[in-house]
Structure formats: C-alpha cells, structure tokens
Amino acid sequence: MGAIIVAWIDAFAREAMLFGAVGFVIGGVDDLLVDLVYLWRRIRGAAGSLLLDDLPASSKTGRLAVFVPAWDESAVIGAMLRTALARFAHPDYRIFVGCYPNDPATIDAVAAVAQTDRRVRLVIGVKDGPTTKADCLNALWRALGRDDAVARARTSAVVLHDAEDVVHPAELRVYDALLGDHAIVQIPVLPLIDRGARLVSGHYADEFSEAHGKQMVVRAAVGAGLPLAGVGCAISVAALEAIAARHGTPFDEDSLTEDYELGLRAGAFGGACFARVREYPGGPLVAVRAYFPATIRAAVIQKARWMTGIALAGWDRTGWSRPLHLADHWMRMRDRRAPVAVLVLAAAYVAVLASALGMLGHAIIGDAASAVSPDVRTLLTVTLALLLWRIAARALATGRSYGWREAVWSVPRLLVANWISLLAARRAIVRYIGILAGAPPRWDKTAHVFPDGPPETVAR
C-alpha cells in the first residue's frame, strides 16, 4: 500500500513539474525577447535618456491642470499639495483635488492649503465615497470645463497624480516640451523603499525598475500601446475630449484600472511618449516618487486590483489591437498573462513540495526514486537557465535605479513578490467573479504615507 501511495505522489509531482517547467520556459522566452530588444536598442544607443537641456522648446498654448483624486487621504494630501506647490517650476498650472462629501477630514486638509494658494482648486463631488477613481477624475474634468468656460481660457493638458506622490520640479517642463508631438506623455515612477519593510515595499522598486526602465522602452520601440501608470503622466485635452465624445466621459467609471485603459485609448489620438529624462548627464531622472504598500495585506489588495482591472476585466473591456498589429498583440498578451503565470508558479511550488514528499516516502519504504529522463533533465536545465537570467536581469534593472545594495536585495524579494502574486490572484479571481455577477466596482485603495522630509534621491 505504501509503495502505491508513493507512486501516486511521484506521478503527481512529475505532472506538476512538467506543467510548471513548460510554463516557465514559455514565460522565460517571452521575457528574454523583451530583454533582447532592449539590449539591441542600448547597443544602438536608442534606449538612453534625454537631458533636460536637450528638450525642445515648449509648444503648448494653455495652462496645465493637475488632477489629484482623494478619498480618505487626510493623512497625506496636505503635505503632498504643499510639496507640489513648492517644487513645480512652471508659470501656469492649477491643481484640482477631488474629494467626497462624506470625507470631511480630507476636505478640511485640502481647504487649508487652498485658502493660502489660489493654484489649488477643491472640488467636492455629488456622490458619497468611495466610488471609483475614474468617477472622481470625471468630477474634476467637469470642474475644469466650468472653470475654463468662466475664464474663457484653454487648458492644454491634464496631468494625473495621486495624493501620496512626490513630484519632480521639472516634471511639467517635460510635458510642455513633448505634448506638442504626442497626445500622452508618461514619465517613470520610482517607488521609495521603506527601510523598515524592505522586502515588501522594495519589491515594487524592483518591478518598476524593469517596467519603467526597460519594458516601457521596448513597448515604445515596437510601436505598441503605452499604458499609463495613473501618476506622472499628461494627456492632451484634445485627446480627452475625443475620448469623451466617443465614450461619454474621458475616464471610464466602470474600470478598476482606468489609467491602463486610458493610455491605450489616448495613444490612438496622437501618439504616446514614454519620457526618460535626466537632469544632467548621469544625474537623477525626472520621475515620480512615492511610498507603495509596506505590508503583505496592503500589497495583496493593490496587486489584486491591478490584476482584476488589467488581466481579467480589462481583457473583456479593451480586447485586442488591429489584426495585423502584432507588436501590440504581444504586449497586451504580456499584460494579461499574470493569472496564468501565477498558476504556473503555484504548480512549480507544489511540484517541489510533492517531490520532497516523494523522496521522503521512498526513504521510508526503502527503495530508490525513478531517474529523471534525459528530455525532462534538458527541460529543467533550460528552465533553470531562464530563471537565473530573469534574476540577473531584475537585479541589473534595480541596480541601475537604486544601486548595488538594492540589486542584491532584489533576489530574496523575488520570493516575496511571488507570494504576494499568489495571494493577489486568489483575491482577483473572487473579485472578477463578483463583477461578472453584477457587483459594482469600488475604489479598493490602501493607506498612504508621505515622506516626513525630502525624499531620498533614488534615480541614477
């Protein structure tokens, strides 16, 4: 009887191992192709950063409106606004902050800043919160339209930020210079690392180092759509008006990831630009900095929202690109592979546990485990090689933005990221089933933190 049980464990471990290994190879080759395109661009000198002094002269003809949706943000919104007002080096902008009537603490915090600086515009919506972030943004859009009509002015573009963002002084200058040729401009996001939660908060630094240091560069190079990060991005008012004319509002209130969808839509109305701009040669990037969740639970909530909005519900909503736009199909496929990748990851972990249990079983009954076939050994070798490449590529990306110490930390953080993804996938599937059953989307946000002092300069 014991031998039969061990044989079943061996069979289960073998099937799980094969499924996981094949999945890793497919995903690893996909990632490798991105790396190779990026390396080719680097060799040709086409993947470097611009310099502030090399930007073209501003071509905009109107003020910039900075939209900041704020639900339950009383702890950070005041500091964020005061920092932005002190940092933005731009002659003509206004910050619109969207609040809810049932959130008096946030209203009071915004009003305290607005009373001392007319560049801050408090907008209180008609609905109690939380709704969706897109609903709040649409309230700001309507307020902007009313203000422009009264002033007989023309705002040229809308800039998106969150209530915890630390803005860069030259950010608006970058938008001014590039919006003349593009409908949307996205600058990098560089998460700040909480030294008290280096593993959890730091894994965001690793992911954004790859996403905004390499993957977005590749997307732009192959002509694929550029999803917005929801912060550190500017969209021309003309593009937003065109989207509103087609869809009723510029921001889709039924979406959990309106920024992702907006980037794909707005790019069709004048092109998109991912701008990696440095202050000077070898200097810091013009980028948005912010603390991301520092606990497992908060990270799972956030990652589940991203996964639901992009890989599950987002697939239903945005579909695919033009039939022959293969590069965009490739990138949208990458955006939506997260649930499958988590399934492959779970199978791999199960295979490891089952293999260990099988080895223990063989030791107990006193016989030897079956030898691994040459074909399976070759498959596992390829899988290991791709995994080591992936670890090295992530470490290099993190090291470029944060230095060699964080590059070393990125290795154990990969395990933390995997665990968070597993938990987030379970939550995302439950939420997606709820959406299919008719549940309304809600602003599933996490608590935010704003730096007490000047944030650490993390970009190189």
189 has pLDDT over 90: yes
Considering the domain architecture, whether residues 84 and 19 belong to the same structural domain is answered as: no
457 has pLDDT over 60: no
Flag whether 322 is in a domain.
no
Mean pLDDT of the 236-247 span: 89
Flag whether 417 is in a domain.
yes
Mean pLDDT of the 290-295 span: 94
Considering the domain architecture, whether residues 346 and 418 belong to the same structural domain is answered as: yes
Flag whether 444 is in a domain.
no
Q: Which residue has the higher pLDDT, 79 or 315?
A: 79
For residue 425, give the amino acid letter. Answer: A
Considering the domain architecture, whether residues 159 and 206 belong to the same structural domain is answered as: yes
Mean pLDDT of the 274-281 span: 92
Considering the domain architecture, whether residues 101 and 64 belong to the same structural domain is answered as: yes
Is the peptide bond preceding residue 130 cis, with omega within 30 degrees of 0?
A: yes
Flag whether 87 is in a domain.
yes
Task: For 318-367, write each residue's pLDDT tens digit.
Answer: 777 777 778 888 888 898 888 888 889 888 888 889 888 888 887 788 77
For residue 1, name the pLDDT band (cuts at 50, 70, 90).
Answer: low
Structural domain including 368 reads 2-41+336-436
Considering the domain architecture, whether residues 55 and 26 belong to the same structural domain is answered as: no
Considering the domain architecture, whether residues 277 and 165 belong to the same structural domain is answered as: yes
Q: What is the CATH number of the domain that holds 121?
A: 3.90.550.10
Q: How far apart are CA 77 and CA 79, in angstroms?
A: 6
Find the range with the poorest average confidence among 151-155, 209-213, 396-400: 151-155
**Count of domains observed in the chain:** 2
pTM: 0.89
Flag whether 307 is in a domain.
no
Burial class for 155, CB neighbours closer than 10 Å (0-12, 13-18, 19+): buried
Distances (CA, A) of 1 to 6, 8, 44, 185, 360: 9, 11, 64, 66, 15
Considering the domain architecture, whether residues 97 and 7 belong to the same structural domain is answered as: no
Considering the domain architecture, whether residues 86 and 219 belong to the same structural domain is answered as: yes
- Longest Cα pair distance anywhere in the chain, in angstroms? 87
What string of DSSP letters covers 398-454? HHHHH-HHHHHHHHHHHHHHHHHHHHHHHHHHHHHHHHHTTPPP----------SSS
Mean pLDDT of the 115-132 span: 93
Flag whether 302 is in a domain.
no
Mean pLDDT of the 185-209 span: 95
Which pLDDT belongs to residue 454?
61
